Amino acid sequence: MTEANTDHALIASPQRRALLARTAMLSTTAMALLSGVSLRSLAATPRDEQTGSDVAILNVALGLEHEGIAAYEIGAGTGLLSKPLLSVAVLFKGHHEGHREVLAGAIEKLGGTPVQPRSLAEYKASSKLDIGSIATAEDILRLAQRLELGAINAYLGVMPSFADRSLSKVAGRLIADETLHYTVLSQSLGQPLPQNTLSFGA
């Protein structure tokens, strides 16, 4: 069978039609995310293995957003941040809440169940956040900086794995926000700009 014949057979096959239909549907989801259209207004989504993989990736990202929101909330509540720093923390927390809504909506649209946040007490007890070691405003900035960097690299790592490449664009926009946060936090900490090119990701 020639390559052209193979293509023709694929186009004619039910699997190919299903793949094309699914791709069109997921791209619509991503476009809705980017344009602010309510995902709930879109049609229900069929589940398959690749969609399940996308949902799993989005849920990990959502877990990181929950954690970031909690960290900023805990940091803001310590009383250690000056008024200008507090304003920045509240603003960044709001950005992450926006990310949370985008991701949860996408997960639901794809037929998944958004992972729920842990309790604030659990976040406070988490060794990853290490809240007990916070004694200064600088400690809070360093924690936020570490979480933002972790999120940047996590998003960069998963971007190529989305079955729907349009979701990679959504991830790219989230990365841009996280990188903005990381840069502001690094500057607040008096840290130098990266000397190497391609300093994020792998």
Binding site for another protein (CB under 8 A): 53, 56-57, 60, 63-64, 67, 126-128, 146-147, 149-151, 153-154, 157-158, 161, 202
Closer residue to another protein, CB minimum distance, 23 or 53: 53
Residue 112 to residues 40, 45, 74, Cα–Cα distance (Å): 13, 10, 29
What SS3 class is residue 104?
A: helix
- Specify the residue for token string 């990381």: 182
Least distance to another protein, CB of residue 118, Å: 10
**At its nearest, how many Å lie between another protein and the CB of residue 91?**
21
- In degrees and rounded to multiples of 5, residue 150 shows phi and psi of -60, -40
Residues with Cβ < 8 Å from 104, sequence gap 6 or more? 62, 114
d(C-alpha 109, C-alpha 112), whole Å: 7
Closest approach, Cβ 86 to another protein, in A, equals: 25
Nearer to another protein (CB atom), residue 110 or residue 151: 151
Given the complex with another protein, which of 81 and 158 has the nearer CB atom?
158
Tell me the C-alpha distance between 165 and 151, whole Å: 19
d(CA 130, CA 167): 32
CB of residue 184 to another protein, shortest distance in Å: 18
Between CA 66 and CA 137 the distance in angstroms is 21
What beta strand segments (E) does the chain contain?
Answer: none
Q: In angstroms, give the least distance from the CB of 122 to another protein.
A: 10
Nearest distance from residue 50's CB to another protein, in Å? Answer: 11
> Residue 75 CA to chain centroid, in angstroms?
21
Beta carbon nearer to another protein, 30 or 58: 58
Cβ closer to another protein: 27 or 53?
53
Q: Closest CB to another protein among 86 and 182?
A: 182
